[in-house]
Amino acid sequence: MDLLEEGLARFLRERLPQPLKLTLTDNRRALFSYRRRPDGVGELRLARYFALADRETLDALAAYLTGEIPRLPSSVRAFADRQLPPASLIRQARLKARPAGEHFDLSEVVGRVLARFFPQMRPVSITWGRRPSALRRRAGKRTIQLGSYRPDDDLVTIHPALDAPYVPPVYLEMVVFHELLHRQQAQTTPPGVRPRLVHDRRFRVAERLFEGYEEALRWEKAHLSRLLSDRSAAKK
Ligand SMILES: [Zn+2]
């Protein structure tokens, strides 16, 4: 279990009658099953992605499981639905994605970042951007915009300027990590609210959890002018 899953397990143990046998599943269709065995042990099987749910969603889920409320609240279902963007859109994005570059295969890069930092997160579509667009600085920030995440079809796009031999893997991984944090923001946005993918204080703190953050920023600073001006890698 990772930290988020441990937090989820602790929450459920506090809220549900004991003894409780909890199993986290990778099932994306069945949200949960809960039953009391004749010997009094409660058996709860719960989709792993609930580790990403906010407090209100979990409160609603617990209230339903304990019988305090008779129907599963729509907020819980809405949360689960957001873990599964419309299948057709996701399929399209995956089909159109071009993760294999000349120097880097993004599916390998994202695989490493997911395994290391987001073991509870399901796989994501990732692609090199098609059109080279001018790189620009993020408004008022130290860094430049080299990636983006689109919640609608669950797609991470990386600027083709980074598909170059002088770019170190740690830097590319940091850019991917940044976009996966935005994905996490989108997945923890309350029901019915358009996700705001912002660099707030919480985001900045999370961003520093990336091992190699300082190293990657140092590299970016040293190569900023080249990234901003040298478009040769992007013109291919
Ligand atoms: Zn960002």
Residue 133 and residue 230 in one domain = yes
Look up the domain containing 206 and give its range. 87-234
Split into its structural domains, the chain has a count of 2
Those residues whose C-beta lies under 8 Å from the C-beta of residue 14, and which sit 6 or more positions away, are none
Contact 163, 102 (CB under 8 A): yes
pLDDT for residue 233? 45
Q: How far does residue 151's CA lie from ligand 1's centre (Å)?
A: 13
- The average confidence (pLDDT) of the chain is 85
Tell me how far the alpha carbon of residue 30 lies from the centroid of ligand 1, in angstroms.
32
| Domain end marker among 52, 83, 114 | 83
CA of 203 to the centre of ligand 1 (A): 9
Query: 90 — phi, psi (to 5°)?
Result: -65, -40
pLDDT at residue 192 is higher than 60 = no
Higher pLDDT, 225 or 174: 174
- Ligand 1 centroid to Cα of residue 182, in Å, is 7
**106 CA from centroid of ligand 1 (Å):** 18
CB under 8 A, 24+ apart: contacts of 79-83: 79/50, 79/53, 79/54, 79/191, 80/31, 80/47, 80/49, 82/186, 82/187, 82/189, 82/191, 83/28, 83/47, 83/49, 83/52, 83/122, 83/187
For residue 89, the model assigns a pLDDT of: 76
pLDDT of residue 29: 62
42-47 and 147-150 strand pairing: unpaired
pLDDT of 195 over the 70 cut = yes
Q: What angle do CA 8, 14, 17 make, to 5 degrees?
A: 115
The model's pTM: 0.61
What letter does residue 133 receive in the DSSP assignment? -
- What does the block give as tokens for 230? 């040298």
Residue % of the chain over a pLDDT of 90: 52
CA 53 from centroid of its chain's CA atoms: 12
Asked if 160 and 68 sit in the same domain, the reply is no
The answer on 93 and 72 residing in a single domain is no
Average pLDDT score over residue span 223-235: 65
- Lay out the sheet containing 32-36: strands in order across: 20-25, 42-47, 32-36
C-alpha 145 to ligand 1 mean position (Å) = 8
Residues 66 and 164 in one domain: no
141 pLDDT above the threshold of 60: no
pLDDT tens figures, 60-99: 999 999 999 999 898 898 888 777 666 677 788 888 999 9
Residue 91 shares a structural domain with residue 193: yes
Does residue 98 share a domain with residue 75?
no
pLDDT in tens, 103-138: 999 999 999 999 999 988 989 999 999 765 555 555
- DSSP string for residues in 58-114: HHHHHHHHTTSSSS--HHHHHHHHHHS--HHHHHHHHHH---B-SS-BHHHHHHHHH
Interhelix angle 55-65/74-83, nearest 10 degrees? 120
Q: Assess whether 95 and 169 both reside in one domain.
A: yes
Q: Are 130 and 228 in a shared domain?
A: yes
Instruction: Label residue 197 by pLDDT band (50, 70, 90).
Output: confident
Q: What is the pLDDT of residue 190?
A: 63
Q: What percent of the chain is predicted at pLDDT more than 70? A: 86
Q: What average pLDDT does range 44-69 have in this prediction?
A: 91
**Of 48, 83, 118, the domain-final residue:** 83
Upper half-sphere CA count for residue 64 (Cβ side, 13 Å) = 18
Instruction: Examine the domain organization and report whether 173 and 188 are in the same domain.
Output: yes
How many angstroms separate the alpha carbon of residue 71 from the centre of ligand 1?
Answer: 38
Residue after which a domain boundary falls, among 21, 50, 83: 83
Please tell me the distance between residue 175's alpha carbon and the centre of ligand 1 in angstroms.
9
Pairing of strands 42-47, 20-25: parallel
Residues 215 and 169 in one domain: yes
CATH of the domain at 141: 3.30.2010.10
On the question of pLDDT at 232 being above 50, the answer is: no
94 and 190 together in one domain: yes
